[in-house]
Amino acid sequence: MPGPTGRVLTLLELLQSGGTRTVAELADRLGVEGRTVRRYVSQLIDLDVPVESVRGRYGGYRLSPGYRLPPLMLSDDEALAVLLGLAAGRRAGLTTTERTASETASAKIRRVLPKHIARRLDTLLSALALTDEPREPDRPDAEVLLTVADGVRHRRPVSVHYIDRDGRHSERTLHAYGIVAHAGRWYVTGRDDGTSEDRTFRLDRIATARALPGSFEAPAEIDTVQRLVSGFATAEYQHEVSLRIHGTPEQIRVHLPASVASLADHEPAAGGGPAAEHWIRVGLRVQRLDWLPRVLASLDRPFVIERPDELRTLVDALSQRLAAYARQA
């Protein structure tokens, strides 16, 4: 026996088949009483489905002429999975500027969700925490996102109106290779036709996008994620940091991932194979240095600061503070 969610969606499917359905007919098909049918109709109306009431001897319910909605037949578990995905996407910042779209979609499904399932969902969301949750996620425009995605899928050039971080406007033709969601932001990587260079653009800074005629060839076996994180690691920032750390790449990557630092062997591993500890040169380009001393301390590995001198001063200050804390009774 289907639950209330299934019966409401079955009612919608029956109405979409066309014509006017009497209350008695709908009650018989759904296995419920007439007053329950009327309650289900009210729920559909609350979900913005245009159900019309037809009076008279052959009256009943029908959908407004011209209205068509594909039936959404979800089990309780499927509805819960959809709602959880919408909620997690909002919390992680992976939504578009049409934030109300995900909120209203959630509300529509929740209204036909059994109360015990809704309570379990609320319990889960109240206990859910996401790592690296952005405070103010930068959401792209939904139409821009879909247009660029179509360009990626069909290898079509896309004309974009881009606004950089300094507020400068430009028109660009982009051969988009792929879209990457990273740390609460959406990015597109591809070739800028005007400069013939591979570039990465933030999607929330693209004001408009439109498909252009023609097609392009993308590089074979392109890794858009690796291009993005490598670009972050080599971008121009205020401070250029060079370190030597004694350890394995795996030990270093735990605290300095590829999106933050680049690694290169300073000396070959002596015996012991690729997992042996040895000196590795680490390069970073960062806007601020104040967080680095704590990261170096958490590595718990021998390290040498090659540059800048300012970082040595910050590390020395941290070591003095820790020593003073340790001396306190």
Locate the domains of the chain by residue range. 4-63, 77-127, 142-220, 236-327
For 172: left if phi > 0, alpha if psi spans -120 to 50, otherwise beta; the answer is beta
Question: Is 65 a residue whose pLDDT tops 90?
Answer: no
pLDDT, one tens digit per residue, over 125-172 is 667 665 544 445 567 887 888 889 889 889 999 999 999 877 889 999
Q: Could you tell me which CATH class the domain 236-327 is placed in?
A: alpha beta
Cα–Cα dist 182/194, whole Å:
26
The mean pLDDT value of the chain amounts to 80
We find that the CATH architecture of domain 142-220 is: Roll (2.30)
Helix (H) or strand (E) holding 262: strand 261-265
Query: Which residues neighbour 65 within 8 Å (Cβ) at sequence distance 6 or greater?
Result: none
Residue 92 and residue 320: Cα distance in Å, rounded?
Answer: 38
Collect all residues with Cβ–Cβ distance below 8 Å to 86 and sequence separation of at least 6: 102, 105, 106
Lowest-pLDDT range of 61-70, 146-155, 216-225, 295-304: 61-70
Confidence check: pLDDT of 313 > 90 = yes
Rounded to an integer, the average pLDDT of 229-254 is: 80
The Cα–Cα gap between 95 and 90 comes to: 6
pLDDT class for 325, splitting at 50, 70, 90?
A: confident
Give the pLDDT of residue 166.
Answer: 78
CATH code for the part of the protein at 4-63: 1.10.10.10
Q: How far is CA 168 from the centre of its chain?
A: 26
Question: Does 262 score more than 50 pLDDT?
Answer: yes
- Is 48's pLDDT higher than 70? yes
Specify the pTM.
0.47
